[in-house]
Amino acid sequence: MSTETKTFDEEFLTDLAAHPHTFDDLLADRYRAWEQAGRQHEGAGDRIHSVAEDRREGRQRLWRRTMGEVMQTARIMAAAGESRHGIDPAQALAYYETTGSEVAAALLAVTQMEDIYRRPGNRWQRFFPCGNRDGHIHASYRDCPTVRWSTPMAWRPDLSGLTVDEAVEKLGPALCSVCFPAAPVEQRSMTLGQVADERTRAEREAARAARQAVKDAKQLRMIEQFRDTSGWVTTVAGALKVLRDEVEYRDYYGRGEHPSHAETLAASVRARAVLLAREAEHPGWGADQAAIGRTIASAVKKNIRDGARLDPATGASLAPAKEN
């Protein structure tokens, strides 16, 4: 016998009721086992109808004969050693009896736990959302008069024992007004489909905002943009490049000062101011003094390797001054 169908010690289940989520998780498994056993038992009954050569008819495809009638036919066939459609009547009857016992055992396991749930002091709040877009969150599986027999239903044992406010925070403001008449109107303002749409919309907006934040972190605002020798500097990466270019132009590959060094030096002053201001306003959007220092120090090392005559400690040019 599986865990889902066997009965437990009553004291164990009574103690477990102090933990609604865990209790209902186990109970949900038992309900699933009951439903599965019921489907197997129904299939076993269909085999007996088939062996008795019964047939379905009508729009609802119902069997013409009752279960009692076809079982009587199957017993007669079993006694005579007959079979139909490759089905042994005796085996079909035995399987029907076995699955029936499994249904009874599963129902007993469910009933045992539901009896404990109904005791005074238990009866914690449960939540059952509909499976359709125009549905709501109910307080029972199918006891609400607004739930049709064909309405797909779900059970959220993970929310068992929570307050209504806590459940709404997780599921959205889609409470059934019949099941939760005392809940504020704003908690009963939407259907589950509308909640899903709203959350999808919020997720899209959050993703769009995140993309824009990344872009804003990289892109200089119009008021921050400035010109360098190669044109307008419009990004943080471009501003950092200006700092590196200024170092490179101090002694361009060991050939002396680059003709554009003076212009780039002025642009680097502007780049430094922009980067520091952005970092102070939005950390991570620019560069602080330490980061700027590391960028320049790295550029000094690189250009020395490429032949530039720079002081390794200060980065100052060691190239001879040009003669007028």
Structure confidence by residue, pLDDT tens digits, 273-305: 999 999 999 999 999 999 999 999 999 999 999
Whole-number CA gyration radius for the chain: 39
Residue pair 265/314 in contact (Cβ under 8 Å)? The answer is: no
Residue pair 179/188 in contact (Cβ under 8 Å)? The answer is: no
pLDDT over 80 (residue 324):
no
CA gap 291, 114 in Å, rounded: 65
pLDDT over 60 (residue 1):
no
Mean pLDDT of 270-274: 97
| pLDDT attached to residue 109 | 93
Helices (H) and strands (E) in the chain, counts: 9, 6
Mean pLDDT of 238-247: 97
CA distances from 126 to 98, 139, 160, 162, 274 (A): 33, 6, 5, 8, 57
pLDDT over 80 (residue 309):
yes
Q: Which residues, in sequence order, are bridge partners of residue 129? A: 137
| pLDDT attached to residue 5 | 63
CA distances from 72 to 62, 66, 69, 141 (A): 19, 10, 5, 37
Instruction: Render pLDDT for 186-237 as a digit per residue (tens, 0 to 9).
Output: 999 999 999 999 999 998 999 999 999 999 999 999 999 999 998 999 999 9
CA distances from 9 to 14, 18, 112, 113, 247 (A): 9, 15, 10, 11, 81
Give backbone dihedrals phi and psi of 40, rounded to 5 degrees, phi first: -65, -40
pLDDT over 80 (residue 52):
yes
Give backbone dihedrals phi and psi of 95, rounded to 5 degrees, phi first: -65, -40
Residue pair 50/144 in contact (Cβ under 8 Å)? The answer is: no
| pLDDT attached to residue 244 | 97
Q: What single DSSP character describes residue 238? A: H
Instruction: State both tokens at 291.
Output: 């980061």
The closest of 216, 281, 274 to 240, measured between CA atoms, is 274
Instruction: Render pLDDT for 61-101 as a digit per residue (tens, 0 to 9).
Output: 999 999 999 999 999 999 998 888 888 999 999 999 999 99
CA gap 174, 172 in Å, rounded: 6
